[in-house]
Amino acid sequence: MFRALRSGGLVGFAIVGGIMDDARAADHCSAALNQGGNDHLAMQVTAETLVGLRDIGPIYRADPARAILALSPNKDSVAFQIQRGDAGTNKHCAALVVLPLRAGSAAAIVDTADELIMDAAPAFGWASFHVGVPAPVTPRWAPSGEWVAYLKRVDRSTQIWIVDLTSKRVRQITHAGVDVEDFRITEDGRMIVYQTRPALHDKVKMIDFEGLRGWRYDSRALPIKTARPQSPNSVRTYTALVIDDGTERPATEAESAAFAQPPSVPPEAPAFAIGPNQRKAWIEPVGGSPFPPDYALVVEDRMGKRAVCSATVCKPDAWTPLWWTDDGSRLRFTRREGWGNSVTAIYEWAPGKTAPRRIYRTTDALIECQPVAKDLLCLRERSRVPRHLVRISFDGSNDTTLFRSNPDFVSLKQGEVKRLNWRNDWGVEFYGDLVYPVNFREGVRSPLVVVQYRTRGFLRGGVGDEIPIQPLANRGYFVLVVDIRDAEAIVGRKTTAAALQTTYDRDFVGQRNILSAIETSVRSLVDQGLVDAERIGIAGLSAGSVTVQFAALNSSLFAAGSVSGCCLEPTQDAFLGPMISARYHEAGWPKLADRDNVFWSKISLMMQPERVQFPLLFQAADSEYLAALGSYVSMSQAGVPTDLFLFPGEHHIKQQPAHQLAVYKRNLAWFDFWLRDVLPEDPVEREEAVRWSAMKGRWLRDDASKRP
């Protein structure tokens, strides 16, 4: 049995079953789940601490409709997956956990695996588009509550496994020749209907055959990733499997319908819920609205009678979750509101009886909720507390923490966090979280690093998880984590998605608003005597890297930058391929053949490296680095301090634990060098910093030679 994890008020956490085909994998996962993820000697948050956190479900979800939590039929237990990376072995461990909701009960690991199931949803007409995020593993309970089925990946194959909660026996029940993508359990519990795409295998073989004569460069091309054409999407196939004897047959139309939305719920409805007596609720776009559209909250009873909530608060976001109370009399939903939509509120509505009323409000992130009796079971994150499971009551009693996968984390030294609200030069509301240095002293100016581009929930590493926020605070930094507003908040709604993007990109009005917001907040911190104006850094991934790139040419505020998923350059059409390039052209970006120097003068580092204001570090996935190569080479040739590191087998968001740790530590060393004039102690890291010293010397000499 595993040693119990310290539970911080919980009753315990132990393995009670799990038969692994590979004993070494089981040993690895046992060690990964039991080794402390915290630096108990220093009692502070380190880069290693963050890499070793045990996460309840994936940090990011490509599909918000896929649940992390699964309640048992009688709602007395919940099942979910935790996962943890091990930088030493560069592997992950995933574990299926069952937690009884009775007071005093302990969470138990019932199975483990050492491979994550990665999310690769179809996009652009292709079969998959990898961004580097794990897929949520949604456990499904037997109607009797006696066993749980779930997807598990072993030897690069994703299949359905079952754990019997009485005998603790774990067994694989599907042996499909391709990955199982999703499944449902029939109401009688005798069969499982599962979803695959077997035709995809044939399409892959056709591309192999085509390669004998050479692949034509066409709409399947994504050259930044690979020379191989992307596989076209294929139809899904549904198979019914009898659990007792393993026999299979093609699923009937009625069985396959379990994967679709219920009848009468519009197919364009992004969220819906079914309550007692088949009462339905969903969110649907209002016809004739601009983009993004207004959404209406609709309820329909079993006789087909509709009720539409007309209150202002009933115009929720598209993916607002919906829950019926156990008696079916009231509907609950969330809504983002407050300054810059920084607050999450829960409302309750009794259709046809009362107006919606707000019953809960928080600046914490609620990642997912499930109704239990009169309460909600939710995954919650706070700025200094990783994801944990809570029970939220609406009767005035306090919320109850049911499970922490990292119970010791809250005992570590962390910088205080202060929520900031402000407006940019155009009057647009922005907000952010300011993390103070751990040993903050009044009257002492400290360096600052700006991190982007969401600050909702646990402050780990910004979007993409590359900038270790609390480890920076432990080194004496302020960290400003800025939440970047969406396009419609900056330029207003337009008639179409393309029109919205075009308005946002025209003359880089969106980036000007974002840079204005960041500069406004940073200058305020300088004026307050908190931040040293000469020691300010900025970092970002993806949309955040665009902000850094724009700032490098249009701001004199920053002394160092770090990016990933960068950059926007005139040559991007050649690397992104026809499908993605067309999206940029539709929004008004020039084609490569246009040679639009005026447009690119606002953002291209490659065309004007001599204008770059600060040293820039690139840490790129091997499937994306070509987009940054022109920027890096041009800056390097112009003598601007820069360094580029490539990470194999990665996508937009890096997932390998060894890579995550390397990225964290190099970002710490980079900002330490440029903002604190400190060299790392580690010999390998120090060798890199010595190279930066040479760059710095040449850059300063060149800059001095240009002065009159």
Residue ranges in the chain modelled with pLDDT below 50: 1-22, 35-40, 707-708
Rounded to the nearest 5 degrees, what angle is found at the Cα of 547, between the Cα atoms of 123 and 550?
115
Quick one: which of 478, 570, 458 has its CA closest to 49?
458
**Domain assignments of the chain as residue spans, ordered by start:** 1-172, 414-705
Query: What was the pLDDT predicted at 557?
Result: 97
CB atoms within 10 A of CB 598: 7
Distance CA 15, CA 29 (A): 11
Residue 372 to residues 425, 507, 624, Cα–Cα distance (Å): 46, 50, 44
Round to whole Å and give the CA distance between 335 and 333. Answer: 7
3-class state of residue 127 by DSSP? coil
**Beta-carbon contacts of residue 475 (< 8 Å; ≥ 6 apart):** 668, 672, 676
pLDDT at 301: 86
Strand partners, 461: none
Instruction: Specify the fold of 414-705.
Output: Rossmann fold (3.40.50)
Give the per-residue pLDDT at 30.
Answer: 60
The identity of residue 348, as a single letter, is E
Tell me the per-residue pLDDT of 457-500, one tens digit each, with 9 for 90 and over.
999 999 999 999 999 999 999 999 999 999 999 999 898 888 99
- Concatenating the DSSP letter of every residue in 37-75 gives -SBTTTTB--HHHHHTPEEES-SS-S-TTS-S-EE-TTS
For residue 406, which amino acid is it? N
- CA pair distance 127, 633, nearest whole angstrom: 34
Contact 73, 141 (CB under 8 A): yes
Q: Report whether 152 contacts 111 (CB < 8 A).
A: yes
CA 698/CA 542 separation, integer angstroms: 30
Which two structure tokens, joined as six digits, stand for 365? 């992130």
Tens of pLDDT along 133-181? Answer: 999 999 999 999 999 999 999 999 999 999 999 999 999 999 999 999 9
Q: Read off the tokens for 280.
A: 């339905």
Whole-number Cα distances in Å, 377 to 86, 211, 263, 371 = 29, 52, 28, 6
Kindly report the CA angle at 392 between 389 and 396, in degrees rounded to 5?
150
Q: Say how many C-beta atoms besides its own lie within 10 A of residue 30's C-beta.
A: 19
State the pLDDT at residue 560: 98
Burial of 671 (0-12, 13-18, 19+ CB in 10 A): buried
Match 């719920």 to its residue by tokens. 265
Angle at 609 between CA 606 and CA 611, to 5 degrees: 130
Tell me the residue type at 699.
W
In 3-state terms, the chain is what percent helix, strand and coil (to 5)? Answer: 25, 30, 45
Q: What is the per-residue pLDDT for 8? A: 33
